[in-house]
Amino acid sequence: MSKNAKAVLQLCNGYFLAYADCAGRYSRLFRDTPYRVVTVQLRDPPDEKAAQKMASDEVIFLGYQSSEFRNFRLKAIRDVRRIAATHDFAFCIAHRYKSIYTALWGTHLTVIGVHHDFDEYRRFNRRMFANMFKKRLRLLGVSDAVRDNIRTALPAWPSSHIETLYNRIDISAVQINLLPRETARAMLGLPLQSWIVGNVGRLHQNKDQATLIRAFAVALPNLPPGSLLAIMGSGPLEEELKALTGKLDIQESVRFLGQIGEGSRYFRAFDVFALSSDREPFGMVLLEALMAHLPVVCSDCGGGREVVEGIGDIFPFGDADALAQALIRLTQWRETEDYAKKADVHVQRKFSDEAAVEAFWRLPMVSKFKPC
Q: Are 296 and 286 in contact (CB under 8 A)?
A: yes
Beta bridge partners of 115: 141
Task: Tell me the one-letter amino acid at 200.
Answer: V
Cα 357 to chain centroid distance, Å, stands at 17
How far apart CA 369 and CA 360 sit, in angstroms, is: 11
Specify the pLDDT at position 68: 63
- Positive or negative CA dihedral for 155, 309, 313, 269? negative
Domain borders along the chain are 7-168+352-369, 171-350
CATH fold, domain 7-168+352-369, is Rossmann fold (3.40.50)
pLDDT for position 153: 98
- pLDDT attached to residue 1: 37
* Sheet of 58-64, strands arranged across: 58-64, 36-43, 7-12, 89-95, 111-115, 137-141, 162-164
Query: CATH 3.40.50.2000: does it fit domain 171-350?
Result: yes
Name residues of the chain where pLDDT drops below 50. Answer: 1-4
β-strand partners of 198: 230, 273
pLDDT at 72: 65
- Alpha-carbon gap, residue 96 to 118, rounded angstroms: 11
- Do domains 7-168+352-369 and 171-350 share one topology? The answer is yes
pLDDT at 44: 85
d(CA 122, CA 154): 10
